[in-house]
Structure 1
Amino acid sequence: MSELESWLTLAAVPYLGGNRISQLLHYATPQQLCRMTVEQLQAIGLNPRQISCLLQPKYQRIERCLQWAECDQHTILTLDSPCYPPLLKEIASAPPLLFVRGEAHWLHEPQVAVIGSRSASIDGRESAYEFAASLVAANYVVTSGLALGVDGQAHYGALKNGGATIAVLGSGLDQVYPARHRELASKIVEQGALVSEFWPDEKPRPQNFPRRNRVISGLSVGVLVIEAAEKSGSLITARYALEQGREVFALPGSIHYSGSRGCNALIKSGAKLVESPVDIFEEVGALTECVKNNQLDSSLPQPENEELPFSSVLANVGNEATPVDVVAERCKQPVHEVMMQLLELELQGVVTTVPGGYIRTRRG
């Protein structure tokens, strides 16, 4: 079994997130894990279903992935690859695999994420385009999520001004979403890269996009939010950015416009108010130099006495599997909100999914 095949086999095991895989790699390499006995795998904490998937993988799916990687401009980066983006490697629950279409070397360049509303105003779209143009003129790569509205305009602003841009997808790279941006995605491949942690044939699913958001911020030295409602995916990305030690910037807007409330709330909470690209360049210099010099360990802030979020949800998840609807009933919160909170806790390695619901991990 090749090294890449063993990584794909490990990544295909259910309920193994980035944190758990990192823990397993302390015991052995992926190739060694795939050669272990049932007893050895039980000893390091894998359950019967996981052991079965590891020792008897779905070879057809893995073979399709290996064939995908042989295509021109297709790359699969593993967590231990020297080409894996160094900033992303530092975050909690870093993706064990990154699928890339385009030029993977752009992932090593300093990036600034530009994100915002899918239904942005004309001013918001123009701001996204103009800020992206200024960022690429200063030799930054513009990173976003390929969504309609602000994301798309940020990608266009980078491309049409001769710069590079990276789009992080909430689907597999063979399932570009939204469909209206397929042509844009093709242009990005020629002048940047499409990136996803999801297997190439993975369809867009609602639960994929919060996961996608942490990769957008994890790749970047700073995140600029242009127009966001009070409850939006952009604010999830901003929260991830803060947890990852990234700078968060927000464009202020009218108090009478609902699309500005998220940005205004970020500014009230400590994000830097941005009026021009200079405001960004003043703040991201130190981390940018670390990316260029590939010296990260001492530069990234390490949280001390970290307080775990969503305490009411976490208090209702124990050592026995608890269904999401039960947690929601106990917390007196809507199920969809509890699902989002549990997903974030899972990404932080605090809870994990098992048959029948969620349980706490040791960290929780």
Structure 2
Amino acid sequence: MSKWVTLPGRQTKFAAGSLHVDLRPDLIAWLRLEQTPGVGNETARRLLSRFGLPEQIFAASHTALCEVVSNKLASALLAIPADFQQQTDKTLAWQEQPDNQILTLADAGYPRSLLEIPDPPLMLYVKGRLALLEASTVAVVGSRNATVQGIRNAESFSEALSSAGLCISSGLAAGIDTAAHQGALRGPGSTIAVIGTGADIVYPARNRNLAHLIAEGGCIVSEYSLSTPALAPNFPRRNRIISGLARGVLVVEAAAQSGSLITARMAAEQGREVFAIPGSIHSPLSKGCHQLIRQGAKLVESAQDILEELQFQHVTSSIQPESLALTEPGVHGLLRQINFDPVHMDTLASSTGIDIASLTSELLNLELNGQLEALPGGYYRRLA
């Protein structure tokens, strides 16, 4: 459903996102509205519905403002926010850099998909390919502490979906998000990173190189003003944008209390499809996915399952999730080769290339440390 803004003195209602370019308000007024203490998205939308555009809000009298907001907030709106000039100068300088853009609710380029959600962001800071915000998109999310198999699944699913022409949205976090972005960049669909900081900050810092790649081949999106640090409450809120941009959300791995389940819940509330990859009943990172499946999420085993459910036919790749492979040589990579499902000692010897004597010794050490459990018949399974 479109969010409507009525311009004072006009009979016509303009759907936000469809205003003609010559009706675009001054960006500085939007920045002032964004930076006014106490004004969140909901309050801003009430003010916009009552007065039309930010310039009209700030031109209104204290009495008129008090018809919409409290006396305290009306006074805050009529005062210039602290450090406003400094923040505005920084923002305008940022916007002048190549491929940096700022979208407001009144801009024609504002993503139509976000206008459908209950709480669309007031402003979007975009770095990279703006056109991706209107692309057919699937969100891929999951645990920050993912298993090796989860990482492989996130990469391969994302690459397959991107190769089919779908864009992949995720949150640039460690683990599944990182793998999803990396896989998506290998296909033409590319990727959108929705971040919980200002668009001039990379968090986590370890993803700095990945963020540069996304800015070049995909796009980075934030609703937060520049220099906003990594604050815990901002990350669950940005999840509504990750799902809002997408036609569906794929949860790769998630614990029972994972933040990825918040994204899945938001997706369902927004009318998006929810997909989940099943895993071992012994794995804590499968419990969230299994919970979603019990609640009606579609169980998927390949990217093709998602493409068929979304009736997206432009398949150009048959990439499927890879089997678990050794990522470190020798005994130091052994634990990463063992998941929560039983695996035979002969399989481990074959896949790792470790001689039986060394393998037996290392398995015993891992068992004594409480990391593995020895099962009858030469099988082992991971405990933690």
TM-score, normalising length: structure 1? 0.76
Q: What amino acid sits opposite 1:18 in the alignment?
A: N
Indicate the structure (1 or 2) with the bigger Cα radius of gyration: 2
Q: Partners of 2:169 and 2:282 in 1: how far apart? A: 29
Three-state SS of the structure 1 residue aligned to 2:293 is helix
Three-state SS of the structure 2 residue aligned to 1:11 is helix
Q: Partners of 1:15 and 1:284 in 2: how far apart? A: 40
Shift of 1:37: 1.9
Q: Determine if the alignment matches structure 1 residue 48 to structure 2 residue 48.
A: no
Which of 62, 86, 94 is matched with 1:38 structurally?
A: 62
Q: Partners of 1:151 and 1:60 in 2: how far apart? A: 33
Q: Match of 1:332? A: none
- The one-character-per-residue Cα deviations of 1:26-63 (angstroms, maximum 9, x if unpaired) are 22211111111222212222432453244323222222
Q: Match of 1:250? A: 276
Q: Match of 1:153? A: 179
Stretches of structure 2 lacking an aligned partner (at least 5 in a row):
1-23, 315-384
Q: Determine if the alignment matches structure 1 residue 139 to structure 2 residue 162.
A: no
Shift of 1:162: 4.2
Which of 126, 134, 138 is matched with 2:152 structurally?
A: 126
Question: CA contact under 8 A between 1:143 and 1:216: conserved in structure 2?
Answer: yes
Three-state SS of the structure 1 residue aligned to 2:139 is strand
Q: Match of 1:59? A: 85
Q: Match of 1:15? A: 38
Q: What amino acid sits opposite 1:147 in the alignment?
A: A
Q: Partners of 2:76 and 2:299 in 1: how far apart? A: 52
Q: What amino acid sits opposite 2:79 in the alignment?
A: L
Q: 1:86/1:285 Cα in 2 relative to 1: closer, same or farther (>3 Å)? A: farther
Which of 193, 206, 213 is matched with 1:180 structurally?
A: 206
Which of 209, 212, 220 is matched with 2:246 structurally?
A: 220
Which of 143, 151, 169 is matched with 1:117 structurally?
A: 143
Stretches of structure 1 lacking an aligned partner (at least 5 in a row):
289-364
Three-state SS of the structure 1 residue aligned to 2:174 is coil
- The one-character-per-residue Cα deviations of 1:307-364 (angstroms, maximum 9, x if unpaired) are xxxxxxxxxxxxxxxxxxxxxxxxxxxxxxxxxxxxxxxxxxxxxxxxxxxxxxxxxx
Moved runs in structure 1, 4+ residues, more than 6 A?
Answer: none
Q: What amino acid sits opposite 2:29 in the alignment?
A: S
Question: CA contact under 8 A between 1:102 and 1:194: conserved in structure 2?
Answer: yes
Q: Determine if the alignment matches structure 1 residue 280 to structure 2 residue 306.
A: yes
Q: What amino acid sits opposite 2:276 in the alignment?
A: A
Q: Match of 1:164? A: 190
Question: CA contact under 8 A between 2:37 and 2:76: conserved in structure 1?
Answer: no
Q: Match of 2:255? A: 229
Q: What amino acid sits opposite 1:124 in the alignment?
A: G
Q: Match of 1:88? A: 114
Q: Match of 1:70? A: 96
Which of 6, 28, 35 is matched with 1:5 structurally?
A: 28
Q: Determine if the alignment matches structure 1 residue 267 to structure 2 residue 290.
A: no
Shift of 1:68: 1.5
Q: Partners of 1:176 and 1:278 in 2: how far apart? A: 33
Three-state SS of the structure 1 residue aligned to 2:125 is strand
Q: 1:19/1:2 Cα in 2 relative to 1: closer, same or farther (>3 Å)? A: closer
Q: 1:131/1:282 Cα in 2 relative to 1: closer, same or farther (>3 Å)? A: same
Question: CA contact under 8 A between 1:13 and 1:54: conserved in structure 2?
Answer: no
Question: CA contact under 8 A between 1:17 and 1:93: conserved in structure 2?
Answer: no
Q: What amino acid sits opposite 2:43 in the alignment?
A: R
Question: CA contact under 8 A between 1:99 and 1:173: conserved in structure 2?
Answer: yes
Q: Partners of 2:29 and 2:54 in 1: how far apart? A: 5
Q: What amino acid sits opposite 2:39 in the alignment?
A: L
Q: 1:157/1:17 Cα in 2 relative to 1: closer, same or farther (>3 Å)? A: same
Q: Match of 2:16? A: none
Q: Determine if the alignment matches structure 1 residue 193 to structure 2 residue 216.
A: no
Question: CA contact under 8 A between 2:164 and 2:189: conserved in structure 1?
Answer: no
Q: Partners of 2:78 and 2:127 in 1: how far apart? A: 27
Aligned pairs, number: 287
Q: Determine if the alignment matches structure 1 residue 101 to structure 2 residue 127.
A: yes
- The one-character-per-residue Cα deviations of 1:230-287 (angstroms, maximum 9, x if unpaired) are 001100100100110000000001110001000011001110000111211222239x
Question: CA contact under 8 A between 2:62 and 2:74: conserved in structure 1?
Answer: no
Q: What amino acid sits opposite 2:58 in the alignment?
A: C
Shift of 1:112: 0.3
Q: What amino acid sits opposite 1:139 in the alignment?
A: G
Shift of 1:137: 1.4
Question: CA contact under 8 A between 2:46 and 2:68: conserved in structure 1?
Answer: no
Three-state SS of the structure 2 residue aligned to 1:180 is helix
Q: What amino acid sits opposite 2:205 in the alignment?
A: A
Q: Partners of 2:304 and 2:298 in 1: how far apart? A: 12
Question: CA contact under 8 A between 1:13 and 1:50: conserved in structure 2?
Answer: no
Q: Partners of 1:154 and 1:50 in 2: how far apart? A: 44
Q: Partners of 2:73 and 2:54 in 1: how far apart? A: 18
Q: 1:205/1:242 Cα in 2 relative to 1: closer, same or farther (>3 Å)? A: same
Q: What amino acid sits opposite 1:131 in the alignment?
A: F
Q: What amino acid sits opposite 1:47 in the alignment?
A: N
Q: Partners of 2:148 and 2:306 in 1: how far apart? A: 22
Q: What amino acid sits opposite 1:238 in the alignment?
A: A
Q: Match of 1:208? A: 234
Quote the RMSD (CA, aligned, Å). 1.7
Q: Partners of 1:62 and 1:53 in 2: how far apart? A: 16
Q: Partners of 2:39 and 2:76 in 1: how far apart? A: 13
Question: CA contact under 8 A between 1:133 and 1:161: conserved in structure 2?
Answer: yes
Q: What amino acid sits opposite 2:69 in the alignment?
A: G
